[in-house]
Structure 1
Amino acid sequence: MAGRAADSTVLAGARVVLPTGTVEDGRVTVESTRISDSAPEDARVIDLPGHWVVPGFVDMHNHGGGGASFTSGTVDEVLHGIHTHREHGTTTLVASTVTGEMDFLAQRAGVLSELVEQGDLAGIHFEGPFISPCRKGAHSEQLLRYPDPAEVRKLVDAARGAARMVTLATELPGGLDSVRLLADLGVIAAIGHTDATYEQTVEAIDAGATVATHLFNAMPPLAHREPGPIAALLEDDRITVELINDGTHLHPATLELAYRHKGAGRVALITDAMDAAGFGDGLYDLGPLAVEVRDGVARLVEGGSIAGSTLTLDTAFRRAVTIDRIPVEDVVRSISANPARLLGVDDRVGSLEPGKDADLVVLDADFVLAGVMRKGEWIIEPKTA
């Protein structure tokens, strides 16, 4: 059930996760589109005993969903994909593209930037084409390019102020200069799909890189004589690491290791979702590559590489708490507050504080999604007794 909440709504009796911790028998007051610190006497009260109320989820790495691709779909298809993820608690979303021809990516940036201007998206993330052929994953090797700063600038300019992040293999020619350029432009330089050494990764961090694109995936493994990028990304507090918590990309012990080493303040849970998220098994396209989704796992038809995920953030949240045993407050930081901070939208979203957008998720006692509100409008209204 969807629809505008009453002008004043109070969610009462739930465990409410605030920046300062969890409040038992807490209350969240919504006035129109924002969170308020007080409620009028005639406010509608929704009692939610046994539930949790947490901030709306923020996904900074997402390629599509509901059968729609953010790289190639029509505007209506992209909007459908956005809505699919909203139904799973993601109230703020960055559209990620995959490797393609430069002119095509520039054209797509123009299309997606209009949705950013309308408030449907929080920005654009270019994942490729500036990545290593050695760690290309589900990207077309024929379309990969060196990260020439002029070409990086072309994509950022095509996004008309909507570019939020560019993933680079920073060890490639032009990589460090591109990191410096992005830092100067206020765009996140993310290290990913990389074959860099430990020393090369440290250089990239010193140049201004601040995010590790899906840590552990599409990069050399940690080894005792060749620590590679993973050690550098884990040890440096300037880096926030993305993690895909779908049970396929990472073993639970690996995810726990990242949380323990980085601390909850430097982890961002993402989906890296492709078209099949929230849609089902079948054959799909990921850019120019064919993908088969079987039992919820996406793999390239040719070669069998993992091709993104079919994850939604409500599932990532539930897995983190119930399987990985991450404290709820830490999961909230990594699925809402941290990505909001990185994207520069934490003045509006990412936490339940007066004055911020009324973006929130209601979870039942088993951490199953029970309700979603975005800007004071119920996407899914929780059922009450």
Structure 2
Amino acid sequence: MTGQAGPAAHRSGSHRWAAALFVALLMALLPALPVLPATGARAAVTRAADAKPVVTLSEQQAGKGGEITVKGGGWRPKALLMMLICGRSTTDRGVIGGTNSCANAEGRAVTTDARGAFRKKMPVAEPPVPCPCVVHVATVTGEQAAADAVFVVAGHPIAPLPKETGGRLAVLATTRLEGDSGVLTWFGAPPARHLVFTVGNLGSAPVKDPVFEIGTAHGVFAPQWEEQQWRGTIGSGRKARIELPVELAAGAHGDYQVSLRYGGKVLAEQPWGVGRPWGVTLFWILLCLVVPAAVFRIGMAVVDKVRPRSSRAPGRAGRHRPPGPADATAKSAKTPRAVRIPGRRRAQGPVADPVAGATDGPAATTAALPWFTPDSAPSENRPTTKGHS
């Protein structure tokens, strides 16, 4: 038994050593194997998220009234973009002056495909400021992204760009909106917040009393910019925490986008969801119920005021009113006193009144008939005349 178990154990140990050697060789060869590219929509989304947005033009120069084709790639899938021809702009400094330096009326909107690419034709227009010019493409909603391509508008004047100041501000931390809405906002008061952010001076000179621009946009509409100046000095290499007030119009509600711009460049964006002012809706519902009720009450009061007050008014002629003390007095005053006949006893029971035409009761006496007189009336003591027997 012992001699037979020795060769079997030797063979199993050899197999384990062979398996370990194979695994070691496989691990050594894995880094040298080529990585196969991903396929499908998942790979397209991954490439679009990692790539940087780019813009290319079919022509580098064209005159007013012409047409060029703008192509792009590396954008977010299904993103809404705006294409503009802007002056006083370069690819390194961006659009100086913001959209005020662009031909906004001739701009075009385009939506990227599932891979983050697009292709769109747009007309050539002259910007309101001199060149150098670029075709500026930027996202309208969502995360901010932009790209520029150098373009020459033939026949448009060219002027040197303004000198760059020594100070250069940049946002160092995430912006946020601080504050809360009060009770009046529920009834349509303007919503208000404070935009809080931290900026640093990356330039070589200090920045004194910088002027920022706060823009509020609703949906796909362009932001409305408002200048706000911050009092203070930011030295070179220093940073500062800044709070700027932000206020919307009365009754505003929905999804808004708050943007911060300095020197014609957008530094940060912050979404803001504003609730609906339900107090205004409740007010209109109550108004629709109270006003008709008040008008109805006023109308009924007017009708009751102008209605005639006659005793026999229409609708009341057939009503019976029970007799009262005043009616009994009037009736007794109109009824003549009964004439008593001498020698006759009072009649038992009720008798009819010839004048009133009604029965007054057991206390009433019988009146003399008009064709009898007291002398001609038959007497109870007078013997009855009989004929001869």
TM above 0.5: no
Higher normalized helix content (fraction of residues) = 1
Higher relative contact order (CA 8 A, sep 6+): 1
TM-score (norm 2): 0.19
Considering only CA atoms, is the larger Rg found in Structure 1 or Structure 2?
2
TM-score (norm 1): 0.19
